[in-house]
Amino acid sequence: MELNQYLEMFIEESKEHLQSCSDNLLELEKNPTDLAIVNEIFRSAHTLKGMSATMGYEDLADLTHKMENVLDAIRNEKIQVNAEILDVVFESVDHLEEMVMNIADGGDGKRNVSQTVAKLKRIESGEPILETIPTVVSSESVAESAATTIVSENKLQLEYDDFEKTVLLQSIEQGFNAFEIAITLDDGCLLKAARVYMVFDILEKNGDVVKSSPTVDRLEEEQFDQDFKVALITQTTTEELKSKIQKVSEINNVVITPLSKELFTQSAVVESEKPLESPVGAVVEETPSISPNEVKKEESNQKNTVVKHATSKTIRVSIDRLDILMNLFEELVIDRGRLQSIASEVNHSELNETVERMSRTMGDLQNIVLTMRMIPIETVFNRFPKMVRTLSRDLKKKINLEILGAETELDRTVIDEIGDPLVHLIRNSVDHGIESPEVRLANGKPEEGNVTLRAYHSGNYVFIEIEDDGAGINRERVLKKAISKGIVSKEAALSLSDKQINELILSSGFSTAEVISDISGRGVGLDVVKTTIESLGGNISIESTEGVGSIFSIQLPLTLSIISVMLVEIEQETYAIPLSSIIETSIIKNSDILNAHNQKVIDFRGKVVPLIFLDEIFDVPRAESKDDEYHSVVIVRKGDKLAGLVVDTFIGQQEIVLKSLGNYLTNIFAISGATILGNGKVALIIDCNALMK
Amino acid sequence: MTAVEQEFLKVIVFQLADKEYAIPVSNVQGIEKLMHITRVPKTQSFVKGVINLRGVVTPVIDLRERFGIPVLNNVETTRIIITTLDEMEVGFIVDSANDVLDIPMNAIEQQPEVVGSNEEDFISGVAKLENRLMILLHLNKILNP
C-alpha cells in the first residue's frame, strides 16, 4: 500500500498524541488517583498504536502496546501509580518521541528499547523495577507464569481486533475450543524459524490459527526472543494439543489457556473504541465503591476533555504559499489604490459604491492574510513542562514551572527560531539558577523552586520572560571570570553597570558553572541565544538580584514581514519610519532650535535632543531652498538616546510589508528596506539605529 | 560551412546614443516602459533608484551614465530592460529596445582595440550582421564594479 502520502499526517498526529500523553502524565503526577487522566493517556496511546501499526512501524506500535498494558493495569486499579512507574512511562514517551522524530527525518523509526520494555513488563506483572538484564527477566517472568496454574490466567494475553474477536466468539458459541498458546523455545535453540514452522504445522493440522504475536512474518524472520503466542480455534483438547506440540524438539514450555466468552465481553468493555462515552462507564462500572464525590470530579474532568476534543479543525499550508498569497494581495492593494483614484475622477455613483464595497472587503481580507501567519507561542512552550520535570529529577531539585500567556501569537518565522534559545535559557535557569533543596532550605526559601515562563504583547513587540527565584547572578564571580577570560579589561570592568555585568554571561566563551554539566552546556549556549535573538530583530536583557532570582527578558518583533510605520514626506519623496522607534511627533519653531558644538539641538521635555535634517542626510533635491518658520520633527530613540528627524510633512501611520532592496543594492546607508505603497510607488524605510551613533 | 550546423546566440538589441548593444536573452527577464523610480540616497550616481516590478522592489541603473555617455532626458521610447544574473535582478535604462536577433556564433568577434570611451570594460565582443554592428555586453562587469 502506498503510505507515503499519509506519512506527514501520521507524523503530525503522532506528535500531537505524544504531546497530549506527556501533558496528561504531568497532570497525573499531580493527581495520581484521577483515573480519568489515565483514560485520556490510554486513549492517546491506543490511537498512536493503531496508527503506527497501520503505517508499519512495528517498534513504535510494540512499545506503545507495552505502555498501554501498564496504563490498562493502572486504570483497572491493578497497580497503583507511583513515581517509579511514571518515570518508566515518561521514559517510554521519550523513546516514542525519538522514534517519531526519526521517522520524520526519514528514518525507519527503529530503536533499541528493550530495557524500557522490560521495565514496563515488570510493572505490568507487578514486580519491582530492577535493573537486571532484560532477556533473563523476561524468560523468568514467562517461567513464573508457567508455574502458576493455567486456570488462573484471567486476562487476554493477546490483543484482538474486532474481526478476530468476532471469529473467536462465534467459534466458541459453535462449540469449538479457543486457546491462547504461549510457547517458549529452548535458550539454545538454533533454528528458531524452523521450530516455529513445525509448531505452526501441527497447529494448522489441528485447527485454525487466528492470530500470533509476534506476527507470522516476524516469526519467520526470527525477530523474537524465545517465546511467542498463538490464538487457535480447534476441536482437540488441551492435553492432546500440548503433547503434540511438545513433540517438537527444543521447545521449553507450552502454556495453553482456554478462552471463554466472558473474557471477551470483559475485555470488550475495557477495550471499547468509543473514546468519549465509554471510559466514564468503564470507570464507574469497574469501581463500584467509588464515592459520589469522586465520580463528580471525574465527570467534570471528562467534560473538560470533551471540550478539548472539540477544538477547531485545521489544515496545514506551507509558508511559501502564504508568502505568495501575501504578494498577490499586495498587488491587489495597489490596484485598489488606482481604482479608487480613477473612481474619484470619473465620479460615477455606481462605480464609487462598488469600489467602496471592494475596499471594505479587502480590509477584512488584509486582516486575515496578516494574521494567518501568526500562531500561538504555545507550540513552543508545551514541550517545556516535561523538559523541566526531567531536568529537575536528574539534578535532584524541586522545581515548579509556571507558564503564562501561552496563547500569545507570534509570526511563524519567529516561532520556528525561538524554540532553541528558550530551551537554553530554561536549562540555564534550572541548572544554575535554582539551588538544590538543601541550600534553599538553609537560605530560608521554600524547598521548591519556581521558574516562570511568561509571554505577552506590548506595542509592536512580544516579550518573553523567564523568571526564577533561584540564586541570582553573583556579579563578583562573573566579573572575575570575564576578566580572567579576557572578555573585559580590568579598567573597563570598573565602569560597568550592574546590568552590563549581568549581560556579560551572554558573551561567547563564558561559563560560570564551576562544574560543566551536560544540562546547560559548555558556556557556548547563552551567546548563541543572544545571536539568534538579535538576528530576529529582538534583544535580550537580564535583571538579577543575588539570592532572590533572575529575570531573562526577550523582546521580539511581532512579525518579520509586516511592520507599522509613520509615512513622512520630504519634497517629493516618501519615507517610512518604523513606529517601534518613534516616541512622538511634534512641530517646532525656528526659535526653538539651539546650536551646540555645530550641532542643531532642541530642548525636548527637559532633554537636549540633536536634530537630524533628513533632506540633508539623504541629499533630497530641492527645487528651491526652503526656509519655513515651523519644522515637523519625529522624535526617535535608540536605547536611551533620542534624536529628532526633521521632515517636510507627516503623511500618517500605516501597516506596510517589508521588502528587501535585492542583492544588487546592499548596505545602503540608513535604509533598512523598502515597501510598496498603495499608489504603486516604492517607499524606503529609514533605519533609525544607523542615524544615531 | 552549412547553415544547419551554425550555432546562434539569441540576443536583445537596444540603442544607447548612436550605437546598438546586445544582451543574451537568457539574461533578460522583461522589457518595461518607464515607470516611477524611487531615488535611493547615498548610492552611486548611475543607480537611479528602485522600481516596483509587480510587487518586487528592483533597482534600476542608467546605462548611459554607467558608460559615461552624456545623459539624455527620458523620451517616449525609453525602456527599462530587466536583467537577471546570479539571483540579482537589475533594470537597465536604455534609449530604446530595438530587436530580438539570432546572431551566428561565428559573427562574434573579440572587441576591437579602439572604442573611444570607458565602456570598453563592459564589452565582451562585437557582432557584425549585414550592415549592423552590435556591441555585446558583459553583464558581470556592469553589475560588479
This complex has an ipTM of 0.86
Q: Does the structure show a pLDDT above 50 at A284?
A: no
**Structural domain range at position B9:** 3-143
B24: cell is 543574451
Average pLDDT score over chain A: 77
The segment with the largest mean pLDDT, out of A400-404, A499-503, A635-639, is A400-404
Distance from CA of A678 to the nearest CA of B (A): 11
For residue B58, the chain A residues in CB contact (below 8 A) are 662
Q: How far apart, in whole angstroms, are the C-alpha atoms of residue A516 and residue A514?
A: 6
For residue B55, the chain A residues in CB contact (below 8 A) are 327-328, 330-331, 334, 676
Looking at domain A562-691, its CATH architecture is Beta Barrel (2.40)
- A305-319, A425-439, A462-476: range with lowest mean pLDDT: A305-319
- The model's pLDDT over A75-106, given as tens digits with 9 standing for 90+, comes to 777 777 787 888 888 888 888 888 888 888 87
Backbone dihedral angles phi then psi of residue A226, each to the nearest 5 degrees: -125, -20
pLDDT category of residue A182 using cuts at 50, 70 and 90: confident
Look at residues B109, B53, B107, B48 and name the one whose alpha carbon lies nearest to residue B83: B53
Distance from CA of A416 to the nearest CA of B (A): 25
Q: From residue A515, how far is each of A60, A440, A485, A501 by CA, in Å?
A: 37, 20, 16, 21
Active site residue A443: no
pLDDT category of residue A37 using cuts at 50, 70 and 90: confident
The segment with the largest mean pLDDT, out of A34-43, A49-58, A598-607, is A598-607
User: What's the number of CA atoms in the CB half-sphere (13 Å) around residue A162?
Assistant: 4
User: What's the number of CA atoms in the CB half-sphere (13 Å) around residue A369?
Assistant: 23
Instruction: Identify the pLDDT of residue A493.
Output: 77
Q: Does the structure show a pLDDT above 90 at B80?
A: yes
A82: alpha, beta or left, given left = phi > 0 and alpha = psi -120 to 50?
beta
Instruction: Identify the pLDDT of residue A142.
Output: 41
Q: Do A662 and B43 touch (CB under 8 A)?
A: no
The segment with the largest mean pLDDT, out of A217-226, A365-374, B6-15, is B6-15
Q: How many residues does chain B have?
A: 145
Q: How far apart, in whole angstroms, are the C-alpha atoms of residue A426 and residue A545?
A: 18
Instruction: Identify the pLDDT of residue A460.
Output: 64
- Interface residue A668 vs chain B (CB under 8 A): yes
Look at residues A44, A38, A48 and name the one whose alpha carbon lies nearest to residue A20: A44
Instruction: Identify the pLDDT of residue A1.
Output: 45
Q: Does the structure show a pLDDT above 60 at A387?
A: yes
Q: Is the peptide bond before A421 cis (omega within 30 degrees of 0)?
A: no
For residue B89, the chain A residues in CB contact (below 8 A) are 662-664
A410: cell is 507570534
Q: How far apart, in whole angstroms, are the C-alpha atoms of residue B4 and residue A686?
A: 57
Q: Does the structure show a pLDDT above 50 at A125?
A: yes
Distance from CA of A370 to the nearest CA of B (A): 17
Look at residues B1, B84, B91, B80 and name the one whose alpha carbon lies nearest to residue B33: B80
- Domain A378-557: which topology? Heat Shock Protein 90 (3.30.565)
Q: Per DSSP, which regions of B17-139 are E strands?
A: 19-24, 28-33, 47-53, 56-62, 79-85, 88-94, 96-104, 108-109, 123-129, 132-137
Active site residue A46: yes
Instruction: Identify the pLDDT of residue B4.
Output: 52
Q: Does the structure show a pLDDT above 60 at B106?
A: yes
Active site residue A68: yes
Q: From residue A318, how far is each of A8, A15, A327, A420 by CA, in Å?
A: 13, 18, 15, 22
**Mean pLDDT confidence for A22-31:** 82
Angle in degrees, CA A81, A86, A88, rounded to 5: 130
- Identify the CATH number of the domain in which residue B102 sits: 2.40.50.180
| Count of structural domains within chain B | 1
Point out the catalytic residue in the list A17, A46, A65, A631.
Answer: A46
Instruction: Identify the pLDDT of residue B37.
Output: 92
Among chain A residues, CA nearest to B86: A663
For residue A664, the chain B residues in CB contact (below 8 A) are 59, 88-90, 143
Class of domain A4-131+278-309: mainly alpha
- Interface residue A616 vs chain B (CB under 8 A): no
Give me the numbers of helices (H) and strands (E) for chain B, helices first please: 2, 11
For residue A674, the chain B residues in CB contact (below 8 A) are 38, 50, 57
- Interface residue A16 vs chain B (CB under 8 A): no
Strand partners, A603: A608
Backbone dihedral angles phi then psi of residue A60, each to the nearest 5 degrees: -60, -50
Q: Do B89 and A620 touch (CB under 8 A)?
A: no
A530: cell is 543572544
Contacts of A90 (CB under 8 A, 6+ apart): A22, A25, A386, A389, A390
Among chain B residues, CA nearest to A657: B55
Q: How far apart, in whole angstroms, are the C-alpha atoms of residue A600 and residue A592?
A: 10
3-state secondary structure of B97: strand
First vs last Cα of chain A: how many Å apart? 64
Instruction: Identify the pLDDT of residue B74.
Output: 72
Backbone dihedral angles phi then psi of residue A190, each to the nearest 5 degrees: -95, -45
Angle in degrees, CA A602, A632, A635, rounded to 5: 55
Handedness of CA A656, A662, A665, A667 (dihedral sign): positive
User: What's the number of CA atoms in the CB half-sphere (13 Å) around residue A196?
Assistant: 24
Under a CB-based contact definition with an 8 Å cutoff, are residues A225 and A141 in contact? no
3-state secondary structure of A575: strand
A511: alpha, beta or left, given left = phi > 0 and alpha = psi -120 to 50?
beta
Q: From residue A561, how far is each of A60, A410, A557, A677, B93 by CA, in Å?
A: 40, 12, 10, 15, 30
Distance from CA of A619 to the nearest CA of B (A): 7
CATH hierarchy code of domain A147-267: 3.30.70.1110
A660: cell is 528587501
DSSP secondary structure letters along A2-60: --HHHHHHHHHHHHHHHHHHHHHHHHHHH-TT-HHHHHHHHHHHHHHHHHHHHHT-HHH
Instruction: Identify the pLDDT of residue A628.
Output: 77
Instruction: Identify the pLDDT of residue B12.
Output: 94
3-state secondary structure of A671: strand
For residue A647, the chain B residues in CB contact (below 8 A) are none
Q: Do B42 and A670 touch (CB under 8 A)?
A: yes
Q: From residue B38, how far is each of A347, A452, A618, B58, B61 by CA, in Å?
A: 30, 49, 13, 10, 12
Instruction: Identify the pLDDT of residue A308.
Output: 45
**Mean pLDDT confidence for A39-52:** 82
Does residue A418 or residue A129 have the better pLDDT?
A418
